[in-house]
């Protein structure tokens, strides 16, 4: 890689690291104009910041999501956390981890028997991620779960929810494992990033260290197919060892020309 910089006709000094932009949307190799960012890079930063803020405050379109999720499951249930609205959700993370009374009563009234997996779709900090990526993810994942012979409980859609919302839902449904699809905290280049958390034996009081996470699932990040394969691997391991979280190691085989980071950095010579 050359370390020489060049200057364009507009006065922008290029950065040799710019070649790495083909591998990432991260803001690297932006160049400079004098001692500052070039105007185009600065405007792109402001646009990305506005999109991230919009993603946090965008309401979950529950009517549309129930209709779309019904193509993935015959039984879709709408629930709500104990946070009354978005403002309270942002100020009180603890309420986003609990169900409101009406939702708890609705789950009890269903009188569900024990199931293998409880699948939860939650808005989290990016409803946009749920709008754009939850259904394509489930369309890949659900058939793979069926191939394992695991019985899924009702598919639940939760508003104003945090990751731990999967614990009371999983407990109410008698699920051995819970899988939560949730909108991640928007990054400046990823306002649409979907995360997946799963927990063995979900129940209120579970620690975050007892969960496993798959992150950055979206068309420009980890693919739906790759995320589904990794999740199935971890679920099978969890099912065999009856645990999840930091005690469950990812020793799966990754088919990628860039490697998986466990055998070294592809940017560095062998």
Per the structure block, which two tokens stand in for 2? Answer: 């050359």
What is the residue whose two structure tokens read 């193509």? Answer: 71
Spatial neighbors of 179 by CB under 8 A, at least 6 apart, are: 117, 118, 119, 120, 166, 196, 197, 198, 231, 235
Task: Count CA atoms closer than 13 A to 5's CA, side-chain side.
Answer: 12
Beta strands 211-217 and 175-183: pairing type?
A: unpaired
Q: What share of the chain is helix, strand, coil (3-state, %, to 5)?
A: 40, 20, 40
User: Does the annotation place 4 within a ligand binding site?
Assistant: no
Q: What are phi and psi of 14, to 5 degrees?
A: -75, 165
User: Does the annotation place 184 within a ligand binding site?
Assistant: yes
**Residue 254's closest CA among 199, 211, 196, 214?**
214
**Residue 114's closest CA among 79, 147, 146, 150?**
150
Binding-site positions: 163, 184, 213
Binding-site positions for adenosylcob(III)alamin: 163, 184, 213
């Amino acid at each position: 890689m050359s370390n020489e910089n060049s200057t364009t006709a507009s006065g922008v000094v290029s950065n040799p690291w710019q070649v790495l932009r083909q591998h990432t949307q991260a803001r690297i190799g932006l160049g400079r104009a004098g001692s500052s960012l070039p105007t185009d890079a600065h405007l792109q930063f402001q646009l990305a910041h506005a999109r991230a803020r919009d993603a946090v405050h965008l309401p979950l379109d529950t009517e549309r999501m129930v209709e779309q999720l019904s193509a993935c499951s015959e039984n879709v249930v709408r629930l709500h956390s104990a946070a009354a609205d978005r403002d309270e959700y942002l100020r009180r993370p603890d309420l986003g981890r609990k169900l409101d009374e009406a939702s708890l009563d609705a789950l009890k009234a269903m009188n569900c028997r024990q199931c293998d997996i409880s699948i939860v779709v939650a808005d989290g900090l990016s409803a946009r991620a749920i709008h754009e990526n939850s259904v394509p993810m489930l369309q890949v994942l659900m058939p793979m779960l069926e191939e394992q012979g695991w019985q899924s409980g009702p598919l639940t859609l939760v508003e104003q929810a945090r990751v731990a919302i999967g614990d009371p839902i999983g407990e109410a449904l008698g699920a051995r494992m819970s899988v939560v699809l949730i909108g991640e905290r928007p990054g400046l280049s990823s306002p649409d990033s979907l995360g997946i958390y799963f927990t063995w034996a979900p129940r209120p009081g579970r620690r975050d260290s007892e969960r496993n996470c798959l992150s950055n699932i979206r068309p420009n990040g980890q693919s739906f197919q790759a995320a589904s394969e990794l999740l199935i691997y971890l679920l099978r391991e969890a099912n065999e060892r009856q645990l999840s979280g930091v005690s469950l190691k990812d020793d799966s085989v990754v088919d990628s020309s860039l490697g998986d980071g466990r055998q070294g950095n592809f940017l560095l010579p062998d």
